Amino acid sequence: MRDYTKRTKTRQFKIDSMTEEGIITGHLSIFNIRDRGMEAVRPGAFRKSLNEHSSFPFLWQHDTSKVIGQFRGEETSKGLHAVIELNLMEGRNGELLVRQAGEAYANYKKGDIDSFSFGYYVVKSNPTKAGLDLLELELLEGSAATIPMHPQAVVESVKSSREKQIKDMVRVYRSLTGGMSRKSTHADEPDIIEALYYAGKKLGMIK
């Protein structure tokens, strides 16, 4: 049964490329991975929408009054791949025609924001014991966003200070505790311990 309630999904965006003209490529959605809402998008979910529309609006924080660009999409074996074009064209006075597009571009380049999102209607779905499988979605728009639903993906091609910040946090924690292990006696801060542990492991700081 079709659900006409607009929904959104946000994930950290592994950027394949980013140009000075504001063209960004990467995957907006990854197939067959359950997000924090225990939902998984299945291959073919976007096919009908992509066949019916050549492009979609790209918004700032899903605000339909703030269209900062557009994107074209295609399904790959991995998920929904997008080519996003931010509106960075300058007017005669040299100011950006769309201020939010310039802000979004700068924030992504610096690494202050690393997530993208898309809005959709659920056309077909299948509930399972593991969660909800999304079989067909009506794609509505893409959006710059801040809170990811898929925490395991990482922006790689736009260099930022994020890695250094994580390393610094791990060093500070180790200096305060004399080391770091996944199991901690600090029961009041398990999420911080877990996050720093895995960050340190990923960066090779913890064996």
Q: Each residue of 164-195: pLDDT tens digit? A: 555 666 666 666 666 655 444 444 444 555 56
Are 135 and 176 members of one domain?
A: no
The rounded mean pLDDT for the chain is 76
Is 154's pLDDT higher than 60?
no
Return the SS3 of 158.
Answer: coil
Q: Is position 150 within any domain?
A: no
What local confidence, expressed as pLDDT, does residue 157 receive? 36
Is 104's pLDDT higher than 70?
yes
Tell which residue, 112, 131, 126, 111, has the closest CA to residue 45.
126
Q: Which residue did the predictor score with more confidence, 141 or 20? A: 141
Tell which residue, 56, 69, 65, 73, has the closest CA to residue 102.
69
Considering its fold, how many domains does the chain have in total?
Answer: 2
- The single-letter DSSP state of residue 167 is H
Q: Each residue of 5-24: pLDDT tens digit? A: 778 887 767 778 888 888 99
Are 140 and 66 members of one domain?
A: yes
Are 174 and 122 members of one domain?
A: no
First to last CA, the chain: 49
